Amino acid sequence: MKSLKEYKAQCMKDPAFAKAYEDIQPEMSVIQAIIDAREANHMTQKELSLKTGIAQTEISKLENGTRNPSIKLLQRLADGLDMELKIVFEPRTLQNA
């Protein structure tokens, strides 16, 4: 049986897969940032829900990628996590250009 890392490496050889994977990276980065921030604050989705007034089901949808957050919703999450929301545009590196 292949590991997930090996399977991904194999799939990345397909140009269509590699492009699709690259295309979803911004959303995946946001999802991972939400999960990491919540876990760093030792909070469950339910606890974050109570603190922000955002339904736990909506937080779950954000974390599993079935809902795209607005900037306003991201700010509510940041406030509930006692964090500052920063959105940054950075120049692409040659690798990402």
- DSSP of 21-86: HHHTHHHHHHHHHHHHHHHHTT--HHHHHHHH---HHHHHHHHHTSSPPPHHHHHHHHHHTT----
Residue 31, phi then psi, degrees to nearest 5: -60, -45
What would the pLDDT profile of 19-51 be if each residue is shown by its tens digit? 999 999 999 999 999 999 999 999 999 999 999
Does the pTM surpass 0.75? The reply is: yes
Residue 91 to residue 71: CA distance in whole angstroms: 21
Q: What is the CA radius of gyration of the chain?
A: 16
Per-residue pLDDT, 2: 83
What would the pLDDT profile of 43-95 be if each residue is shown by its tens digit? 999 999 999 999 999 999 999 999 999 999 999 999 999 999 999 998 988 76
Per-residue pLDDT, 97: 55
Amino acid at position 1, single letter: M
